[in-house]
Amino acid sequence: MSAMIGGMGMAADTGSHALDEWRLDAQPYYAPAGGEIEQFEAAFHQRTPLLLKGPTGCGKTRLVEHMAWRLGLPLVTVACNEDTTAGDLLGRWLLDADGTRWQDGPLTLAARHGAICYLDEVVEARPDTLVAIHPLSDTRRMLPLDRHGELVHAHPDFMLVVSYNPGGGRLLKTSTRQRFCGLECHYPPPELEAAILMHEAGIDAAQARPLVALGTRTRRLVGNGLDEGASTRMLVRAAQFVAQGMAPRAACQMAIATPLSDAADMQQALAAAIDASF
């Protein structure tokens, strides 16, 4: 399999069908806001792990999906949570009718065969999980599987990408952060965000602009009753409701205002923001 990168073809042959189910069938839509595509490619070619940080729903996952397609690589994604352990990433012994067998975890699978492994919201995982990725995130590019008695050397096409939301309260340890290069992800500027809504939901500019204006108004409330404003993801959802025929105010209440806060005074403020936008 090959993909065009800056006008040059790059082979991404894993030599195995183990990652076939992780390959993307079509190009994910992504509208770049700056030089993030070129910076992502630079990190891949330098075999440097990449840290994406930014607010919820600003496009971090979509960027990774787009880059996996652009680079012609499978994308192995793990949504981390407080129950995610090192074993969940590395693998474990399983018992079946024929006895015991080893099953690679998603991180081992990506490292062994060559893929992007994306650990979404990595700070939510248990501390031992972060320690497990250290050997892969420096110049060694290796993964010790102590339970299997094996040392996996990362495939040349392996790339480790992690993401987190700095506003979420939990931060990465310094010993982990300094192994990565990083990209700051932000909400798109209004013109670009409107174009994203038009593409994703099939609405026109006249319908997209008020939704973007509402998103901007909610983001101004951060620190004044809201932890985060409306994400681009939430605006897309509202736009999809509008495209389906729902009244814009009802769509915004359902997709944005109600999920953002339970507080009565904040619901009033969000209702006022919806009225001001439409």
Q: How far apart are CA 247 and CA 258, in angstroms?
A: 16
Determine the pLDDT at residue 2. 33
Contacts of 74 (CB under 8 A, 6+ apart): 14, 19, 20, 22, 23, 24, 68, 110, 113, 114, 115, 116
Q: β-strand 2-5 against 8-11: which pairing, if any?
A: antiparallel
As to burial, measured by CB atoms within 10 angstroms (0-12 exposed, 13-18 middle, 19+ buried), residue 126 is: middle
Verdict on whether the full-model pTM lies above 0.85: yes
Mean local confidence (pLDDT), 202-210:
98
Residue 93: which of 144, 133, 147, 143 has the closest Cα?
147
**How far from 278 is each of 96, 201, 221, 247, 274, CA to CA, in Å?**
60, 18, 18, 11, 6
Residue 132, pLDDT score: 87
| Pair of tokens at residue 181 | 């290069």
As a whole number of angstroms, the distance between CA 209 and CA 86 comes to 45
pLDDT at 131 (0 to 100): 87
pLDDT value at residue 74: 97
The answer to whether residue 121 scores a pLDDT higher than 50 is yes
Inform me whether the pLDDT recorded for 258 exceeds 90: yes
Residue 40 pLDDT greater than 50, yes or no: yes
Task: Say which range, 61-70, 95-104, 116-125, has the weakest mean pLDDT.
Answer: 95-104
Q: What percent of the chain has pLDDT over 90?
A: 81
Neighbours of 27 (CB within 10 A): 11
| H-run or E-run covering 241 | helix 232-243
